């Protein structure tokens, strides 16, 4: 692999604001996706996906956990 050009700009990982501390990530699906993983923020206000480095940040007005919505939206037949 050739060395990277010193002026090359690497974009930062994607930040996604979510309403709950429990999230799911599939890397965006398609050819660039990864296996569906579920994560919990615990005592923090964010969690990072170990596969794609997406950072899920808790919204300023979080929802109760019983209103969990998956940010990794998939069609019903994919579950």
For the chain, what is the mean pLDDT?
78
Distance CA 71, CA 61 (A): 16
For the 15-66 domain, the top CATH level (class) is mainly beta
| Interval 55-67: pLDDT, tens | 999 988 877 665 5
Angle at 36 between CA 43 and CA 30, to 5 degrees: 130
CA dihedral 54, 62, 73, 16 (to 10 degrees): -20
pLDDT of residue 11: 73
């Amino acid at each position: 692999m050739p060395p990277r050009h010193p002026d090359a700009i690497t974009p930062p990982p994607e930040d996604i604001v979510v309403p709950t501390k429990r999230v799911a990530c599939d890397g965006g699906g398609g050819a660039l996706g990864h296996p569906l993983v579920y994560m919990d923020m615990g005592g923090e206000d964010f969690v990072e996906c170990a596969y794609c480095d997406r950072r899920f940040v808790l919204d300023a007005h979080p929802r109760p956990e019983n209103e969990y919505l998956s940010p990794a939206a998939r069609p019903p037949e994919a579950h």
